[in-house]
Amino acid sequence: MQRLDSHTALFGVIGDPVRHSKSPIMLNRAFGETGVNGAYAAFHVKPEQLAQAIAGVRGLGFKGLNVTIPHKIEVMAHLDEISEGAKAAGAVNTIVNDGGRLIGYNTDGIGYVRSLKEEAEPDLAGKTIVVLGAGGASRGILWALAQEGPKAILLANRTEAKAFEVASAFSPDYRISAIPWEELQAACASADVVINTTSVGMSPNVDAVPLDPSWLKPGSVASDLIYNPLKTAFLRQAEQLGCRIHGGLGMFIYQGAYAFEYWTGQPAPVAAMREAVMASFN
């Protein structure tokens, strides 16, 4: 890491827990790579300390902050402005300190979409997308997916009412509609991209699949937000059946890349950031 001095701009991530976070490794590498005089640390902030932590950001003049579980929703009440994407996601994961005004963004959804386009499907316009799951992670990506102009986004969830509730929060222009669980197989058969946002398949339950991968069309994209393991059982089986696959690590890398870009106004050194994260797994 580069030398810190009295000009160093400060950044960090707040969460509870936070010691597992790979964001410091990734963002400090980005600062080093680009020569930005910045430093990034992880702060363990309990829910009852959230207001003080944000007051500290203002008082100490931190330039930016990432926000992770469990603060992504509650933090919004402490900010001066919330971006459209963060409002649609109902959560903030990135704060920019713009001359004393704290602005909340959500880079998870746009980070996911940028990774999907870079790594699996460059053009989502006119495509049919199935999204499985209707929790926080799903809500986080729906707005960003809709910005790409797909033909339809079909949302299915084990608890169907939740899918209908989430879909109805978006205007019809977004072409997001909920489907009953029993229509999922038919929807997958005609989908270009099928995305798992549920926790099914996450370590330690690495053999579980959220749906039968044989429902997917060969050549279509199977995408999973999970990155532990890097290749879930859903992706492994879909790949064997001739699908293109896309894992969740890119979402993490690109949400950090967008945060870096919002904070510095410079393009993020994505390859170096990915390398730093991959090296930390070994």
- Indicate which residues carry an active-site annotation: 72
Closest to ligand ATR by CB, 108 vs 119, is 108
What's the closest the beta carbon of residue 133 comes to ligand ATR, in angstroms?
4
- The rounded distance, in Å, linking the Cα atoms of 229 and 233 is 9
- The answer to whether 207 is a known ligand-binding residue is no
What's the closest the beta carbon of residue 259 comes to ligand ATR, in angstroms?
19
Closest to ligand ATR by CB, 133 vs 269, is 133
- The answer to whether 280 is a known ligand-binding residue is no
Residue type, 88: A
Closest to ligand ATR by CB, 36 vs 167, is 167
- The answer to whether 201 is a known ligand-binding residue is no
What's the closest the beta carbon of residue 27 comes to ligand ATR, in angstroms?
22
What's the closest the beta carbon of residue 145 comes to ligand ATR, in angstroms?
15
Strands 176-178 and 81-82: unpaired
Residue type, 264: T
What's the closest the beta carbon of residue 160 comes to ligand ATR, in angstroms?
8
> Under a CB-based contact definition with an 8 Å cutoff, are residues 250 and 115 in contact?
yes
Nearest to 198 by CA among 146, 164, 156, 238: 156
- The rounded distance, in Å, linking the Cα atoms of 182 and 187 is 10
> Under a CB-based contact definition with an 8 Å cutoff, are residues 195 and 141 in contact?
yes
- The rounded distance, in Å, linking the Cα atoms of 179 and 201 is 22
- The answer to whether 27 is a known ligand-binding residue is no
> Under a CB-based contact definition with an 8 Å cutoff, are residues 64 and 256 in contact?
no
Residue nearest ligand ATR, CB atom distance: 135
Closest to ligand ATR by CB, 128 vs 197, is 197
Rounded alpha-carbon distances, angstroms, from residue 147 to 78, 84, 222? 27, 12, 20
User: Which positions lie near ligand ATR, rule CB under 6 A?
Assistant: 133-138, 157-159, 162, 197-200, 210
- The rounded distance, in Å, linking the Cα atoms of 114 and 121 is 10
List of residues 6+ apart from 238 with CB closer than 8 A: 213, 216, 222, 245
- The answer to whether 189 is a known ligand-binding residue is no
Closest to ligand ATR by CB, 251 vs 268, is 251
- The answer to whether 237 is a known ligand-binding residue is no
Q: Which residues are annotated as a binding site for NADP(+)?
A: 84, 133-137, 157-162, 225, 248
- What residues are designated binding site for shikimate? 21-23, 68, 93, 108, 227, 255
